[in-house]
Amino acid sequence: MKKLKVSLVGAGSISFALGALQDLVLSERLKNQVDLEIALMDIVEENLNRTYNYAHEMFSEFNHHAKIWKTTELRSAVADADFVIVAIEVERYFYWSQDFHVPRRFGSKQIYGENGGPGSMFHTLRNLGPMLEIAKTMEEVCPEAWFINYTNPEAKLVEAISKLTSIKVVGLCHGLDMGIDQISEFLEMDREDIGVEGGGLNHFGFFTKIWDKRTNEDLYPLFREKEKKANRLAHFDHIALSRTMFHIYGYYPYPGTNHIGEYISYADDFYAGLPLQYRYDPIHEKLWEKGARTPEFIYCANGDSLDKPMFSEVKTHEVWTEEAYIFDKNHVGFSNEYAIPIIEAIYFNDEVTLNAVNMQNKGAIKGLPDDMVVETQAIVNGSGISLKAMEVELPAAIVGTIHIQGTIHQLLIEAFLEQSKTKLLQAILLDPQAPSYYQACAMIDEMCKLQKDVLPELEWI
């Protein structure tokens, strides 16, 4: 059997690493037709050991004879790899809470701050150095391998790797599939019967076509009718903004308020859960000081977040992590992520269509730069991955909004390469959720101080 090496960098990641490992162990073709080697790599040895022990138990229970090993050394992990799956983040919620609170403290109206808004720019600069280190190491020891990325901010990081290295890179996200779930609920149809064309920017995409796979009937007329009848408060925090943007632009967006709202200036009108994001008491808590509590992340104001019994236990990140690593064979299932289907399609030269990947545009979405990373459908086969051109053009207002983000992508790359706070300021002032000039300058200085251990050294130039 031909050998196949898959490396998981950031193997301590709970959702993506465990999901990839479960997809690998459940793949009958990779079990029976491939001499499979899985290298697990993470810089935090405790997290690495946790994932290795879980993987070893799971593969043993499934009588899978893949060679699984672990290391904290990047070079050995990716040497001669065929595919490198990457999901990295340092002290995720600690720094995400800073990304959210500090820009708002200095006047930004951003929500979330993960992939869009000023907070996302610091998020990008934190992760860009390690991501480029991975890609440049791959150039030396596995130059033909595919870099499969789950790390956010997805579009910004994939674009930087595409422009600054020779590595083949694709970014993956399940946001479009979340949108299909919402459409299926409006239509009261099984999601498997719904065909879509969609695309745009990661976490800011729009369905330009929806149809019934059984009859090829255009489903947008029915969707419009159903959406009008739907309770206006239904799932308010998650889709009220989506419904408003559908009314504005004529196409339904994905994945939901917490993400699409990062790229526009009016999202907080539709986000009741905004005050819950990383909630803390400023009187009694000094957030981010050594030993202080990292606030829990609240995705939205729904029953899971608000309707708690008076003395119910708060499930912290630590408790959630501990529960995730309790192995139960009966709970092992497919993650529905795309990394392993991509590996199978390329390795076995199958041809499959994926709902959404992030790659350089190259004409797939009209009106956007060819070298900008966008998100839309793709064809995967033995030759690799290529975007499908969208048949329906996105409205000019959407293209214009995304184009602004493309310019921000480039300015962030320049800020990183030139170690320039000034280029970062240019990017921030261009964003729809920018604070004033004086506030933006002060915010940059404050964030560079708070995150000095993980941000590149930046200077005013």
User: H helices within 142-200, ranges in order?
Assistant: 154-164, 175-187
Contact 392, 197 (CB under 8 A): yes
Q: Which amino acid is at 421?
A: K
Q: Give me the count of residues in the chain.
A: 461
- Residue position matching structure tokens 């498997």: 192
**Helix then strand then coil, % of the chain, to nearest 5:** 45, 15, 35
Contact 392, 208 (CB under 8 A): yes
Structure tokens at 423: 């280029």
CB atoms within 10 A of CB 214: 11
- Burial of residue 178 (number of CB atoms within 10 Å: 0-12, 13-18, 19+): middle
CB atoms within 10 A of CB 218: 12
203 assigned to a ligand binding site: yes
Our separate counts of H helices and E strands in the chain read 17, 12
What is d(CA 257, CA 236) in angstroms, rounded to the nearest whole number? 9
User: H helices within 62-91, ranges in order?
Assistant: 74-78
Structure tokens at 166: 């020779």
CA distance between the termini of the chain = 56
Structure tokens at 247: 């009314």
Q: Alpha-carbon dihedral of residues 319, 320, 322, 325, nearest 10 degrees?
A: 170
115 assigned to a ligand binding site: no
173 assigned to a ligand binding site: yes
CB atoms within 10 A of CB 293: 12
What is d(CA 325, CA 323) in angstroms, rounded to the nearest whole number? 5
3-class SS of residue 207: strand
Residue 95 sits at φ, ψ, to 5 deg, of: -80, -30
Q: Which residues pair with 254 in a beta bridge?
A: 205
What is d(CA 277, CA 275) in angstroms, rounded to the nearest whole number? 6
3-class SS of residue 99: helix
3-class SS of residue 196: strand
Q: Which residues pair with 358 in a beta bridge?
A: 171, 375
* Residues annotated in a binding site for Mn(2+): 173, 203
* Residues annotated in a binding site: 152, 173, 203
* Residues annotated in a binding site for substrate: 152
